């Protein structure tokens, strides 16, 4: 038995996505840049997919660039806005302290080049306020980049309002919507978004493919030089099978957003109330304003890695935060950003659900987590000190 509760790290591909890829690995394998009919068939599929993605985002096909995933889309969006700003002498960028590393590390690189980066506080509930963005914008601000939903604690940011503020002040607004796409409503026009990143493998599409939406009129900087694919902004033969799989998965996910939200949030709330019964535990991130499938807890007196390994023995695939930081001993920058101290941040658990999870799986998981936490505490010297009153509990 395996209970997969790590859908924020990646998802299983949907049957529709797999089916839609097969013809493009078999009969229709031409290079879309080739002039012969085999190439033109692939090119038609590519154009069709671009239009279908545009329809789902509420934009035009020419505003869609296919990338190798969310990381590349984030890099290209930020670098492009920075290069544009630089030309006008604007070298200030605003973001938040709990962005994905694809954003934060790109900003670090720009900082080394002389850009000034303001990272906004996200408060204990994991939500940045639009007023903070308004206050932080300066005459030399060239970009605001704030994620739509956080990948560790699932909190949803007021991006429409932030976009509105940026538009009023003439600053480009980018949002990393990798966790939101296919799970939350997106309409780039209505939400005042200038640039948006998404990645197929977070909504039951294939890995290694994503989208960068860029509002027309904003020139992109090329990260990969070569052929003239993607209007010369992203060289390399297009990954047609992956693009077709992503498009099918995105259409399917968007079509079922309402029913999936209903189902997932019911399971999520059940999981949250079950795990809240564990003494000295705390939910990370706002209880309501979070992704329908995200649960993230800290348990005092234990270590997240041991919790994960023992849950794996029980058949449960979970995460202590982001897959990208696991393997390092540093606590999650997201949990530190919402004010969890090191000791507490180390004892974290992220459970991220998909539509395939069942109520039985959630009940089993609640019991398993309760048992494993109790066991780890029973052998933890820190827990003994806490219980004996030698140390004070941080989570009451």
Ligand X SMILES: *Cc1c(COP(=O)(O)O)cnc(C)c1O
- Give the residue, chosen from 53, 54, 56, 69, that forms a contact with ligand X under the rule CB under 6 A: 69
Residue 249 interacting with ligand X (CB under 6 A): no
Phi–psi pair at 219, nearest 5 degrees:
-75, 140
Of the two residues 176 and 361, which places its CB atom closer to ligand X in the complex? 176
Other CB atoms within 10 Å distance of the CB of residue 219: 10
Taking the least distance from each CB to ligand X, the nearer of 152 and 251 is 152
128 contacts: CB under 8 Å, gap ≥ 6? 96, 120, 121, 122, 146, 157, 158, 162
Of 182, 107, 169, 109, nearest in space to 136 by CA: 169
Q: How far is the CB of 313 from ligand X (least distance, A)?
A: 26
The pattern of x and - marking residues 74 through 93 that bind ligand X according to CB under 6 A reads x-------------------
* Site size for ligand X (CB under 6 A): 15
- Residues 22-41: b if buried by 16+ CB within 10 A, e if exposed: eebeeebebbbeeeeeebeb
Q: Cα separation of 21 and 207, whole Å?
A: 12
* Residue 199 or 284 with smaller CB distance to ligand X: 199
Binding to ligand X in span 300-339, by CB under 6 A = none
- Contact between 71 and ligand X by CB under 6 A: the answer reads yes
Interface with ligand X, residue 153, by CB under 6 A: no
Q: Tell the smallest beta-carbon distance from residue 18 to ligand X (Å).
A: 18
Please check whether residue 73 is in contact with residue 230, taking contact to mean a CB–CB distance below 8 angstroms: no
Stretch that binds ligand X, among 68-76, 213-221, 268-276, 373-381 (CB under 6 A): 68-76
**C-beta of 72 vs 361, nearer to ligand X:** 72
Q: 59, 142, 298, 324: which is the annotated catalytic residue?
A: 324
Can residue 145 be called a binding residue for ligand X (CB under 6 A)? no
Nearer residue to ligand X within complex by CB, 42 or 200: 200
Q: What does the block give as tokens for 20?
A: 């839609």
β-strand 195-199 against 141-145: which pairing, if any? Answer: unpaired
| SS3 label, residue 175 | strand
Of 30, 130, 163, 210, the one binding ligand X (CB under 6 A) is: 210
Q: From CA 372, how far away is CA 306, in angstroms rounded?
A: 9
Angle of helix 37-57 versus helix 240-255 axis, rounded to 10? 30
Q: Which stretch binds ligand X (CB under 6 A): 181-189, 194-202, 267-275, 278-286?
A: 194-202
Q: How far is CA 13 from the centre of its chain?
A: 17
Taking only Cα atoms into account, the Rg of the chain, rounded to an integer number of angstroms, comes to 22
Comparing CB distances to ligand X, the nearer of 43 and 175 is 175
Among 54, 102, 110, 338, binds ligand X (CB under 6 A): 102
Of residues 163-192, those binding ligand X (CB under 6 A): 176, 178-179
What is d(CA 183, CA 253) in angstroms, rounded to the nearest whole number?
Answer: 7
Q: Is 166 assigned a catalytic role?
A: no
Quick check: 100 binds ligand X (CB under 6 A)? yes
Query: CB of residue 140 vs ligand X: minimum separation in angstroms?
Result: 27
Alpha carbon distances (Å) from 343 to 100, 270, 329, 331, 394:
22, 27, 12, 9, 9
Give the residues lining the site for ligand X (CB under 6 A).
Answer: 69-71, 74, 100, 102, 147, 151, 176, 178-179, 199, 201-202, 210
Catalytic residues: 324
């Amino acid at each position: 038995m395996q209970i997969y509760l790590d859908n924020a790290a990646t998802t299983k591909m949907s049957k529709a996505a797999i089916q839609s890829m097969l013809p493009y690995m078999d009969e229709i394998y031409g290079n879309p840049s080739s002039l012969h009919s085999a190439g033109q068939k692939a090119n038609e599929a590519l154009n069709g997919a671009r239009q279908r993605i545009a329809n789902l985002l509420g934009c035009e096909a020419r505003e869609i660039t296919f990338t190798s995933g969310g990381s590349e889309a984030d890099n290209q969006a930020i670098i492009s806005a920075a290069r544009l700003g630089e030309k006008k002498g604007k070298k200030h960028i605003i973001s938040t302290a709990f962005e994905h590393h694809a954003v934060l590390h790109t900003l670090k690189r720009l900082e080394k080049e002389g850009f000034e980066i303001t990272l906004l506080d996200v408060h204990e509930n994991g939500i940045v306020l639009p007023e903070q963005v308004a206050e932080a914008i300066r005459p030399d601000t060239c970009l605001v980049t704030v994620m739509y939903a956080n990948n560790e604690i699932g909190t949803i940011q007021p991006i429409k309002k932030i976009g509105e503020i940026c538009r009023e002040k003439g600053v480009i607004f980018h949002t990393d919507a990798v966790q939101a796409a296919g799970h939350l409503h997106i309409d780039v026009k209505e939400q005042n978004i200038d640039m948006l990143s998404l990645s197929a493998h977070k909504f039951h599409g294939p890995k290694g493919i994503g989208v960068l939406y860029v509002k027309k009129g904003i020139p992109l900087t090329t990260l990969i030089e070569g052929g003239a694919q993607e209007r010369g902004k992203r060289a390399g033969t297009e990954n047609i099978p992956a693009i077709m799989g992503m498009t099918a998965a995105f259409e399917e996910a968007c079509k079922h957003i309402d029913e999936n939200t209903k189902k997932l949030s019911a399971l999520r709330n059940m999981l949250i109330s079950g795990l809240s019964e564990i003494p000295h535990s705390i939910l990370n991130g706002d209880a309501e304003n979070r992704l329908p499938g995200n649960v993230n807890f800290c348990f005092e007196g234990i270590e997240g890695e041991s919790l994960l390994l023992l849950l794996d023995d029980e058949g449960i695939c979970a995460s202590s935060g982001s897959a990208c930081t696991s393997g390092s001993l540093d606590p999650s920058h997201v949990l530190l950003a919402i004010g969890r101290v090191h000791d507490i941040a180390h004892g974290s658990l992220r459970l991220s659900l998909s539509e395939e999870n069942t109520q039985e799986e959630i009940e089993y998981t609640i019991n398993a987590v309760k048992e494993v936490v109790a066991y780890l505490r029973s052998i933890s010297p820190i827990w003994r000190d806490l219980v004996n009153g030698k140390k004070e509990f941080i989570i009451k």
